């Protein structure tokens, strides 16, 4: 006989309604029917409330039950929003504590509310609520309000930053990630969406393909400048090659193997092409990068500006920089009356919004410059270069240099790598990205002359005319309408702040890299003299010899710059000798070089190459005079010193440890041997290497290692994808002679006096091992 609903059971005395609250019955029923508990909200409310007191769940499981029940299709979403807001208040304090605890990781700190929220299926439920409009065909379904969407996104973001695993879980759902991009079309939900996407893409194992985003060109074109800057934070993740985080993976051997395995373009490269195909994208980035703070469209009120600002509060350093800037404005305004410092005389509470605006604009520009820098280093470099020149990026940055980019000296800081995920202050990040952009823009490209103004270009022409040498073709072809405006070009402004930089500032590294890139490529006498006339050589020598600089990175950048500045330039060697005018100074200089040949070998290469050229110009009286007087040239002219450098260059590297940083040591050793071969002295140098081995009691070791290095050199540089012009430009030796010399050295003919094999005793011969085993 059927029992009516609510009737008492004869065996247990419980009604069916009350039995449904029994967790064991629910589990047993699920086992029988195959419809078990699928979400935390299905656990009986009475059990949750009882357990809540002991576990300190703060009512979150019960709130999630209410959220689930109020969020069915066609339900009143105002009730849903009320529950979400209640939930948000419980979770937001944990997120804020995470921000203010110096980015303490989830493993170091506990966030019980967000953990409980995720444990009981809250994250999945919010994703379901957000995506529901895309899954239903009902025209009359309730429309989600913008405020509800914003609060859902904020709760998800709070969970991501506080609870380990949530971000990775969301990142694994490609449908949800692509859906988030569609929310960016709504200006009211844009910031919350962008913040969440950035966090998710940062941990996503497989890089997203931008071409998969629905209507990407239309989406990007709909952004205002502020939204576009925020979007650049997202783009930086999608167009940068992932950092493998393992030094072994950075070896040239591993990179070459990886390139063979993955012959097709990477996802990052494909994404770069996708961006470049969006109409007007690069032009808008250039405008954003070069606009003045006074031109930025402000928010309607201070509270709105604060909400916008909150999305940038990744760490306390940002707020520190904001407060510091506000208090330092008075100092700055005493020497400068720009629009960026005009509010310095007002009380702090009035200046703060303007200071915030400056830092905000700086942080926007950091993201934009990073994206432009990555595109400049990509496969479409020439296309990007053409657009950046056309849209006058360099003149625009020149106009911002004194008022915003380098408006004041920044306090000392540690040297950071080239990863965009940097915890340094906004102003430091801005300066570094600016210098990296200049480096990428100038490096081996004829557009480098856009860094000068018309008067400075005329000065270069005059230098060439006086020296009776033809002007560089790139200089002649430079479009004068695209160069810098004003009394000084960007390169000259950079030199001025470089010389004022404090001795222990690591900005010296980036500044030297940026200036060196202007000199790299085919050696230009006029370019060198332009910089020599501005005291650059003396500044470099002061930093190396007299400043007490200990940073290997900074010293390496100065060695490389000095090499480019002095190469084949007899005037530079004369100026060197005038500055290094005592034996004590010269010994300090040599000690700096010898302390790390990996850092200084490019300078050694420059001295060797220059000496070789000068020795063939003995009809020039000035050259003969400098050759006889210059302590540096005299030192390198002694064969025992050249051999000493050669021994160490070959000995500090092997195939397994070759990287982009130290492969120059191999090329410098080859330069020494190529010049010896030209003079018929190659057998003498090879025999000296053999004698060194026996003197050090490790016969065969040095020459076997060098043989293997040269075999790798062939595989690496004879690859059709490798650009050999860099080797030619840096040495003024044709690449065919490089290849020919390597082939002669690797000849198996043990009778040949120019073959390495003939200098290794058969007992110590070890030339047939596979390179991968070396």
Q: Is it the case that residue 456 has pLDDT exceeding 70?
A: yes
The pLDDT value recorded for residue 200 is 93
- The DSSP result for 373-385, as a single string, is HHHHTSTTHHHHH
Q: State how far the Cα of 41 lies from the Cα of 45, in Å rounded to an integer.
A: 8
569: closest CA among 602, 617, 601? Answer: 617
Q: Is it the case that residue 445 has pLDDT exceeding 50?
A: yes
Percentage of residues in the chain with pLDDT exceeding 90? Answer: 53
Residue partners of 225: CB distance under 8 A and separation at least 6: 284, 287, 288, 291, 296, 297
262 against 584, higher pLDDT: 584
> Mean pLDDT across the stretch 17-28?
47
pLDDT band of 401, cuts 50, 70, 90:
very high
Q: Give the helix ranges, DSSP H, for 443-533.
A: 454-466, 473-476, 490-500, 507-519, 525-532
The pLDDT value recorded for residue 743 is 97
Q: Give the helix ranges, DSSP H, for 184-300.
A: 190-201, 216-222, 225-239, 252-261, 267-276, 281-290
452 against 226, higher pLDDT: 452
Q: What is the DSSP letter of 487?
A: S
The pLDDT value recorded for residue 694 is 87
| 296-322 confidence digits (pLDDT tens) | 654 444 444 444 444 444 443 444 445
Query: For the chain, what is the mean pLDDT?
Result: 82
| 36-91 confidence digits (pLDDT tens) | 555 555 565 555 565 656 656 667 777 888 888 887 777 778 888 888 888 888 78
Q: Is it the case that residue 489 has pLDDT exceeding 90?
A: yes
Q: What share of the chain is helix, strand, coil (3-state, %, to 5)?
A: 65, 0, 30
> Mean pLDDT across the stretch 95-111?
55
* Token pair for 288: 């954003």
The pLDDT value recorded for residue 624 is 95
Q: State how far the Cα of 435 lies from the Cα of 589, in Å rounded to an integer.
A: 27
E strand residue ranges, 301-401 = none
Helix axes 112-119, 122-135, angle to 10 degrees: 50
Helix (H, G, I), strand (E, B) or coil at 45: helix
Q: Which residue has the tokens 């529901």?
A: 132
Q: State how far the Cα of 699 lies from the Cα of 702, in Å rounded to an integer.
A: 8
Highest average pLDDT, of 5-9, 510-514, 698-702, comes from 510-514
- The DSSP result for 747-774, as a single string, is ---TT-TT-GGGGS-GGG----S-GGG-
E strand residue ranges, 153-220 = none
Helix (H, G, I), strand (E, B) or coil at 5: coil
The pLDDT value recorded for residue 28 is 58
Q: State how far the Cα of 400 lies from the Cα of 368, in Å rounded to an integer.
A: 15
The pLDDT value recorded for residue 303 is 44
Q: Give 659-725 as a 3 state SS string.
A: CCCCHHHHHHHHHHHHHHHHCCCHHHHHHHHHHHHHHCCCCCHHHHHHHHHHHHHHHHHCCCCCCCH
Phi, psi (5° rounding) for residue 163? -120, 120
CA–chain centroid gap for 367, Å, is 11
470: closest CA among 525, 522, 519? Answer: 525
Structural contact between residues 434 and 500, judged by C-beta atoms closer than 8 angstroms: no
| 109-145 confidence digits (pLDDT tens) | 555 788 888 888 889 999 999 998 776 655 555 678 8
Q: What is the DSSP letter of 292?
A: -
Q: Which residue has the tokens 């053999």?
A: 690
Q: Is it the case that residue 583 has pLDDT exceeding 70?
A: yes
Give the Cβ contact number of residue 715 at 10 Å.
Answer: 14
291: closest CA among 377, 371, 357, 375? Answer: 357
Q: State how far the Cα of 481 lies from the Cα of 24, in Å rounded to an integer.
A: 81
Percentage of residues in the chain with pLDDT exceeding 70? Answer: 76
77: closest CA among 149, 136, 134, 182? Answer: 149
Q: State how far the Cα of 631 lies from the Cα of 627, in Å rounded to an integer.
A: 9
pLDDT band of 349, cuts 50, 70, 90:
very low
Phi, psi (5° rounding) for residue 187? -60, -30
Report the run of H or E that residue 305 belongs to, with start and end: helix 302-310
Which residues share a beta bridge with 8? 15
Residue partners of 502: CB distance under 8 A and separation at least 6: 409, 412
594: closest CA among 583, 606, 603, 584? Answer: 603
Q: Is it the case that residue 337 has pLDDT exceeding 60?
A: no
Phi, psi (5° rounding) for residue 288? -70, -40
pLDDT band of 35, cuts 50, 70, 90:
low
710: closest CA among 748, 745, 754? Answer: 745
The pLDDT value recorded for residue 407 is 76
373: closest CA among 263, 261, 240, 565? Answer: 240
CA dihedral 424, 427, 431, 437 (to 10 degrees): 80
| 202-256 confidence digits (pLDDT tens) | 888 888 999 999 999 999 999 998 899 989 999 999 999 876 444 444 788 887 7
Helix (H, G, I), strand (E, B) or coil at 519: helix
Q: State how far the Cα of 733 lies from the Cα of 745, in Å rounded to an integer.
A: 17
* Token pair for 254: 């591993």
Structural contact between residues 743 and 749, judged by C-beta atoms closer than 8 angstroms: no
| 415-442 confidence digits (pLDDT tens) | 444 444 444 678 888 999 999 999 999 9
The pLDDT value recorded for residue 140 is 56
Residue partners of 458: CB distance under 8 A and separation at least 6: none
């Amino acid at each position: 006989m059927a029992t009516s609903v609510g009737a008492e059971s004869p065996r247990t005395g419980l009604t069916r309604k009350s039995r449904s609250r029994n967790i064991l019955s629910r589990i047993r029923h699920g086992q029988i029917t195959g419809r078990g508990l699928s979400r935390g909200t299905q656990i009986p409310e009475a059990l949750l409330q009882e357990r809540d007191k002991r576990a300190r769940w703060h009512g979150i499981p019960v709130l999630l039950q209410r959220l689930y029940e109020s969020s069915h299709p066609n339900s009143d979403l105002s009730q849903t929003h009320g529950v979400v807001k209640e939930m948000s208040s419980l979770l937001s304090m944990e997120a804020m504590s995470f921000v203010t605890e110096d980015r303490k990781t989830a493993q170091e700190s506990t966030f019980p509310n967000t953990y409980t929220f995720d444990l009981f299926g809250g994250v999945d439920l919010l994703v379901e609520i957000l995506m529901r409009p895309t899954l239903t065909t009902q025209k009359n379904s309730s429309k989600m309000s913008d405020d509800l969407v914003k609060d859902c996104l904020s709760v998800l973001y709070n969970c991501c930053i506080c609870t380990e695993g949530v971000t990775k879980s969301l990142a694994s759902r490609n449908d949800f990630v692509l859906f988030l991009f569609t929310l960016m079309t709504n200006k009211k939900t844009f910031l919350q969406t962008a913040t969440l996407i950035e966090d998710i893409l940062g941990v996503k194992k497989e890089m997203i393909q931008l071409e998969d985003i629905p209507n990407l060109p239309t989406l990007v074109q709909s952004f205002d400048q502020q939204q576009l800057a925020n979007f650049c934070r997202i783009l930086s993740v999608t167009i940068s090659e992932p950092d493998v985080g393992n030094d072994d993976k950075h070896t040239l051997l591993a990179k070459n193997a990886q390139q063979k395995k993955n012959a097709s373009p990477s996802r990052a490269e494909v994404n770069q092409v996708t961006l470049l195909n969006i109409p007007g994208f690069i032009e808008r980035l250039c405008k954003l990068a070069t606009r003045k703070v006074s031109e930025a469209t402000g928010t309607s009120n201070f509270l709105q500006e604060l909400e916008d600002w909150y999305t940038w509060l990744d760490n306390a350093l940002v707020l520190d920089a904001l407060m510091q800037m506000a208090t330092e404005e008075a100092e700055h305004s005493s020497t400068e009356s720009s629009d960026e410092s005009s509010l310095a005389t007002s009380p702090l509470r009035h200046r703060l919004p303007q200071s915030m605006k400056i830092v905000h604009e700086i942080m926007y520009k950091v993201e934009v410059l990073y994206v432009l820098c990555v595109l400049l280093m990509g496969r479409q470099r020439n296309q990007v270069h053409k657009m950046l020149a056309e849209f006058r990026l360099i003149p625009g940055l020149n106009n911002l240099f004194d008022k915003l980019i380098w408006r004041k000296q920044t306090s000392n800081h540690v040297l950071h790598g080239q990863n965009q995920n940097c915890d340094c202050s906004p102003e430091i990040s801005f300066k570094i990205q600016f210098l990296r952009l200049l480096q990428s823009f100038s490096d081996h490209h004829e557009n480098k002359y856009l860094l000068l103004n018309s008067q400075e270009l005329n000065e270069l022409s005059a230098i060439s005319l006086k020296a009776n040498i033809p002007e560089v073709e790139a200089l002649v072809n430079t479009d004068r309408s695209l160069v810098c405006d004003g009394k000084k070009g960007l390169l000259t402004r950079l030199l001025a702040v470089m010389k004022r930089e404090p001795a222990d500032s690591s900005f010296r590294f980036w500044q030297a890299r940026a200036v060196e890139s202007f000199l790299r490529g085919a050696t230009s006498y006029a370019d060198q003299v332009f910089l020599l006339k501005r005291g650059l050589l003396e500044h470099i020598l002061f930093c190396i010899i007299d400043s007490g600089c200990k940073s290997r990175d900074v010293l390496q950048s100065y060695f490389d710059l000095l090499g480019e500045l002095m190469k084949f330039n007899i005037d530079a060697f004369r100026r060197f000798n005038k500055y290094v005018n005592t034996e004590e100074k010269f010994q300090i200089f040599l000690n700096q070089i010898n302390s790390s040949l990996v850092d200084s070998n490019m300078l050694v290469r420059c001295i060797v190459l220059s000496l070789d050229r000068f020795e063939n110009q003995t009809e020039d009286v000035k050259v003969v005079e400098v050759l006889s007087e210059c302590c540096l040239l005299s030192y390198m002219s002694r064969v025992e010193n050249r051999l000493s450098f050669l021994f160490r260059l070959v000995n500090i590297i092997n195939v397994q440890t070759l990287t982009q940083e130290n492969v120059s040591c191999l090329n410098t050793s080859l330069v020494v041997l190529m010049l010896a071969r030209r003079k018929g002295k190659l057998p003498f140098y090879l025999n000296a290497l053999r004698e060194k081995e026996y003197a050090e009691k490790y016969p065969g070791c040095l020459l076997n290692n060098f043989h293997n290095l040269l075999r790798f050199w062939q595989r690496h540089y004879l690859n059709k994808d490798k650009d050999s012009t860099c080797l030619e430009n840096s040495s003024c030796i044709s690449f065919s002679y490089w290849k020919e010399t390597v082939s002669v050295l690797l000849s198996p003919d043990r009778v040949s006096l120019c073959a390495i094999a003939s200098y290794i005793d058969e007992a110590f011969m070890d030339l047939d091992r596979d390179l991968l085993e070396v």
